[in-house]
Structure formats: C-alpha cells, structure tokens
Amino acid sequence: MAGRFFDEWTVGTRLAHQPSRTVTETDNLLWSTMTHNPQPLHLDAEAAKASEFGRIVVNSTFTFSLAVGLSVGDTTLGTLIANLGYDKVVTPAPVFIGDTLTCHSEVVELRPSKSRPEAGIVTFRHEMTNQRGETVLTMLRSALLKRSPQ
C-alpha cells in the first residue's frame, strides 16, 4: 500500500506494518560502525556478557530507524514533503540479535499547515514490538504531507 495524502487520514487510524524484520548481527555491527558508535555493549560479545543483559544489545538508533523504515510504505511513501520532527523516543526494553520486530502506527494529531495550503501535518505514534509482544520502542513522528490532488 502506498502512503496516504493528508486529507485521507483520520485521528485514531491504526496500522500494523508488514513485513516484520528479524535483526541480524550484521545489521547491528554495520549500523554501529557506520555511525561511529564504539559502545562495547553493541560490539564486544565478552563485555556484553558481563553486562546485566548477558549478551549484545542492538544499537537503539538502529531500532529507531527501522521503525521509520517499516512504517513509510503505509504512511508517507509518495506523499511526504518533509519529516518535521521526532519526539518522545522511548526504548523501554532492549532489542537482541535475532529478535523479530513489528511496527504499529496510530495517527494522534492532524492539522492543516499554516504556511502551505496544499499540505498538512500528521503526527504518528509508532510502536515497535518484538516477537514476544514486548514494546521495545515508541515515538512520535510529525510529517508534512501533500493534500490529495483532487
């Protein structure tokens, strides 16, 4: 499904995005090195073993970016003018290599753009859950979307 225009959304609309995604060791390693994050908890199996988690924890900025990526096809693909901001990013549980993550979205606010009559702002609440149903990330994303071309 392609993204929707601003005027096609209603507050309270909920989506479960597919496909889900299983996080691999390569995902975590590449993301951590690409972003210059040398945190041993993400890269050093022995150091991670000695932590309270007992194993490598996936870099939370990967989880954040994956949530956006998994949601785009159903929300803003082809209708986005710009992402305006990300707020209240919370990671209540760790993600581990091998976890399968699913993103769910809900429209929590709609408002017409004051400066662009051809657009409006949609605020999505994204929630990422693992295969056990545990919430591993929540956030708000505000996006400036085109109105339908009617």
Mean pLDDT score across all residues of the chain: 96
pLDDT at 1 over 50: no
Question: How much is the pLDDT for 2?
Answer: 84
Chain-centre distance for alpha carbon 101: 10
| Domain limits, the chain | 6-146
State residue 47 phi and psi, 5-degree precision. Answer: -65, -40
d(CA 131, CA 124): 22
d(CA 64, CA 126): 10
**DSSP label of 98:** T
Query: Which string of b and e fits 49-66 if b means at least 16 CB within 10 Å?
Result: eeeeeeebbbbbebbbeb
What are the structure tokens assigned to 59, written together? 């870099």
- The answer to whether the pTM exceeds 0.85 is yes
pLDDT tens for residues 119-144? 999 999 999 999 999 999 999 999 99
- Its CATH architecture, for the domain 6-146, is Roll (3.10)
Query: Omega into 19 within 30° of 0, i.e. cis?
Result: yes
